[in-house]
A and B are shown apart, each in its own frame.
Chain A
């Protein structure tokens, strides 16, 4: 197997390699690297390790809005025009107590505020201040049923019709879901979250890259597997070839 990989790699170097890159078996082999990276990174850093938090002076003067910055969706625009008073966060799937929560409901719950660094898969970083409800608190209230393994976030936006017609979605495992810094943020830099940055609610998963941190969240679903959702890879960008584990 090693030898085959090396030969393929060598062939790639000589022939311009695009065919090798797109070979299904090569893709499968490379996908195993992600499993090794995830396993080892979790092992050496531990489940409770906290992402660095920064002083207020380090907050980026201009936090880049990436991906969708204004969802082209009539239902969403209606909600936005009324300051999300009619928006409800739908919590369902493998939970004992499904719920629909308003923004006021979420603001009335215990919150966490953190100044953290946002690392985009493209390579840039910004620092912002986030306030929101720990996802773990919501999941404890909803009570996960037996078999719940992933938390899926369904969003209001379609990112790029030319790439994919599905709406944005993301998923994380339970270790990240119950991590203290994993929050559903409704405030950014002491202001209500702007449409540009995912109003009314966006996910913060501070030990992973930006594409995991879904914006415009409409529905949260606890599932045993994400194979049946979207393209089956656990997220919008994952369906387009990106790694599900975005810890690096």
Chain B
């Protein structure tokens, strides 16, 4: 007859504390960004489909793109999708360059319809959607930035402390082993979160916005330094494309981390603000 009774210490170890993790501005601007970035990516891929090739410099060297997606005729006479990257040819039939339309017919399209807005080919509509969400994204981002600087959100929650930075190598190992901070340590963003959010907010997003500006002939007239910054309009277009995919990569890792470190808790905290941590009852 030896049933183990939960000890007082165990009960204390299981204390659940509800904390307030994300302020209302962060929550709203986060979800507006999610919508905008999704729309911008999909309409952007439609725009890319109008000329699915990238170059470096000011002009297009049509015969020697740095990167392209297209349809080519294979030696056996069949058409195939092909990605060209620095002279390397990769067969992408079925994924990129040549896919199937809804009716099963082969479709000569760089990025397939399920990835684009709209699904049918329309550069005009793709552009309208891209610029609408670009405005919303930039205004939303500026609002977030002003709030974050005035409220000290940036310094309080994002800029890592010396202690955070010292913990960087250990944090990398912990993440690789899928062990995430618990208890009191989970109250604040860990160092990898801080650094990745800072890179996205202060490097990737400003870069992709400025590269977008540099593609505008009118803005180039007003601000020629945009072209200097990227090394030409076609370089800016290439950078815009690369950074878009870096943001996709960030989003994939971000969502994976959300799922692995407690999907409901994380999701709730970004909707209601409340985030539950388990402490050892050692709170003051």
Q: Are B50 and A122 in contact (CB under 8 A)?
A: yes
User: A60 CA to B119 CA in the complex, in Å?
Assistant: 34
B215-242, CB < 8 A from A: 215-224, 227, 233-234, 237
Shortest Cβ distance from B47 into A: residue: A123
When chains A and B are docked, how far (Å) is the Cα of A237 from the Cα of B50?
A: 15
Contacting residues, chain B, for A16 (C-beta < 8 A)? 119
CB contact under 8 A between A123 and B217, given known A52-B224, A243-B128: no
Closest to A12 in B: B117
Q: Mark B63-103, 1 if CB is under 8 A from A, else 0.
A: 00000000000000000000000000000000000000000
Kindly identify which residue among B39, B60, B127, B223 contacts A13, using a CB–CB cutoff of 8 Å: B39
Q: How far is the CB of A173 from chain B (nearest CB, A)?
A: 13
- Check A208 against B131 for contact (C-beta < 8 Å): no
- Chain A interface size band reads 35 or more
Would B221 and A125 count as touching, CB distance under 8 A?
no
List the A residue with the shortest CB-CB distance to B63: A62
Known contacts A242-B124, A243-B127; is A62 also within 8 Å of B221 by CB? no
Known contacts A123-B237, A242-B127; decide if A49 and B58 are in contact (CB<8 Å): no
Q: Contacts A51-B217, A208-B217; is A30 near B227 (CB within 8 Å)?
A: no
Interface string of B45-64 (1 = CB under 8 A from A): 00110110101001110100
B-side contacts of A10, CB under 8 Å: 35
- Bound CA span A247–B58, Å: 17
By the criterion CB–CB under 8 Å, are A45 and B131 in contact? no
| Chain A, 143-197, CB within 8 A of any chain B CB | none
Interface residue? B132 (CB, 8 A): yes
Beyond A6-B35, A62-B62, A121-B50, whether A21 also contacts B217 by CB under 8 A is no
State the majority secondary structure of interface residues on B.
Answer: helix
Chain B binder among A34-42, A106-114, A217-225: A34-42
A135 CB-CB contact with B under 8 Å: no
- A34, B218: Cβ atoms under 8 Å? no
CB-contacts of A27-59 with B (<8 A)? 27, 29-31, 33-34, 36-37, 41-42, 44-46, 49-52, 54, 58
B218 near A247: Cβ-Cβ < 8 Å: yes
**Binary CB contact string for chain A from 8 to 25 against chain B (1 if under 8 A, 0 otherwise):** 011011001110011000
Can you list 30 residue pairs at the A/B interface with Cβ under 8 Å?
A: A6-B35, A9-B39, A13-B35, A21-B125, A27-B128, A30-B132, A33-B135, A34-B128, A37-B131, A41-B218, A44-B219, A44-B222, A45-B222, A45-B223, A46-B222, A49-B218, A51-B221, A64-B62, A119-B215, A119-B233, A121-B50, A121-B123, A123-B237, A124-B51, A126-B60, A241-B124, A242-B124, A243-B124, A243-B128, A247-B216
Using CB atoms and an 8 Å cutoff, list the residues of chain B in contact with chain A. Answer: 35, 38-39, 47-48, 50-51, 53, 55, 58-60, 62, 117-120, 122-125, 127-129, 131-133, 135, 215-224, 227, 233-234, 237
User: What would 7 more interface pairs be, CB under 8 Å, given A45-B222, A121-B127?
Assistant: A41-B222, A121-B123, A123-B48, A124-B53, A124-B60, A126-B59, A126-B60
